[in-house]
Structure 1
Amino acid sequence: MLLWQLFISFMKIGILSFGGGYAVISMIQYEVYRYSWLTPEEFQRIVSLSGMSPGSIATNTATLIGYNTAGLSGAIAATSGIILPSLIVVILIAAFFYKIHSNPWVKASFYGLRPIITALILYAAIHFGFSNPADSILHWTSIATLLISAAAFLLIVKYKVHPLMIIIGSACVGIILF
């Protein structure tokens, strides 16, 4: 039953996931809390590890949640669930892409999805940054998180610093501050 639950939950996420891995984190989080698969702290650690690992954060997160919940079989069920819808869609689109890629309705629909994807990423970032209920917005860790986030954003956008350097620098600052 648990393996089927993992497969179906992640397949639903795979079907509804537009905008890439980070936009999907809020949907994964909903399913994790709905079925009580992980504590908020465990979920945050898994998402952090998934983001640092090579590959898609959504697939990595599904795999680690499945493994944490039901071992190797759970990892296979969750991973299969999240990739199956994309695999089917990619095969279908590849078969018909040449005919539909210049269609104005198709182009317009993708432009229409951009604001929703942005909102999902923003929600995940805010929720992830302030996931510890003990931290209020005025707690020093929340203020430090905001400052590190703002500095990282500025370095990436204005100075075009490579994201890997930002990750390493943020990890070092985290070791010192936290």
Structure 2
Amino acid sequence: MVFINLFFAFFRIGLLSFGGGLAMIPMYLTEVEKHGWMTQSEFMDIVAVSQMTPGPIAVNMASYVGSSAAGWAGAIVATTALALPSVLVILALTTVLSRLKDNPWKNAFFFGIKSAAMALIFYAGWLIASDTLYASLNEGQWMTAAKGLLIAGGCYLTRTCWSKLEPVLLILVSGVIGAIFFGA
């Protein structure tokens, strides 16, 4: 039963989500909580690890969640189910979209999709921020939250000022700074 649930949950995520892996986070979290595959805190750890590992974040998250739910076979089922709708849709739409290249309705439709994806990415950012920063504030750990904001702000400024800087390097440096700030 777990394999069927994994397949349909990740097929639905792959079919109905737009905007990449970060925009999928709310849908992932809904499925993970609905099926009890892991806690929200465990899922947020998976998001962080998925961002650091090579490959698309959505595929990495599907593999981790599937593995957590049903071992390596669950990882294969979840990853395949996530990718299958994209493959089918791309095959079907390739010829249609090439014919509608300059169609204003098509352009307006995709503008709407990008706007929704942007909102979902902001929401994913809010989930991550609330898991790391807001939880610290609720527990009265103001300095922990301030250090987290300092790391996040530093990453944002570094990335916007030096966009050629490799994101992997930025993540590794942030990890080292986090170890210094929060290490025992």
Same fold (TM over 0.5): yes
1:158 maps to which residue?
161
Question: What is the aligned counterpart of 2:144 among 138, 141, 145?
Answer: 141
| RMSD (Å), alpha carbons | 1.7
Deviation at 1:134, TM superposition (A): 4.5
Q: Once the 2 structures are TM-superposed, how far is the Cα of residue 158 of structure 1 from its aligned partner?
A: 2.2
How far apart in 1 are the matches of 2:146 and 2:17?
31
- The alpha carbon displacement at 1:64 in A equals 1.1
**1:12 match:** 12
Secondary structure class of the residue paired with 2:137: coil
Whole-angstrom CA distance in 2 between matches of 1:78 and 1:131: 25
Aligned-pair distance for 1:40? 2.4
Q: Deviations over 1:56-91 (max 9, x none)?
A: 111110111101110122112111211111011111
Q: Which 4+ residue blocks in structure 1 deviate beyond 6 angstroms?
A: none
Task: Give me the TM-score of the superposition, normalised by structure 1.
Answer: 0.92
* 8 Å contact from structure 1 (residues 9, 31) kept in 2: yes
Please give the per-residue CA displacement for 1:125-148, whole angstroms capped at 9, x wherever unaligned. 121122157522663222222221
User: Take 2:136 and 2:16, find their aligned partners in 1: how far apart are those partners?
Assistant: 32
Q: Gapped runs of 5+ residues in structure 2?
A: none
How many residue pairs end up in the alignment?
178
SS of match in other structure, 1:54: coil
Q: Is the 8 A contact 1:129 1:145 kept in 2?
A: no
Q: Which residue of 1 aligns with 2:110?
A: 110
Counterpart residue identity of residue 157, structure 2: L
Q: Does the 8 Å contact 2:52/2:168 carry over to 1?
A: no
Between the aligned partners of 2:5 and 2:162, the Cα distance in structure 1 is 45
Task: State the TM-score, normalized to the length of structure 2.
Answer: 0.89
For each residue in 1:143-178, what CA deviation from the matched residue of structure 2 results, as whole angstroms up to 9, or x when unmatched?
A: 222221111111111232332221121111111112
The secondary structure found in structure 1 opposite 2:136 is coil
Give 1:49 deviation, angstroms: 1.6
Please give the alpha-carbon distance, in whole angstroms, between the structure 2 residues aligned to 1:117 and 1:43: 20
Q: Percent identity?
A: 37
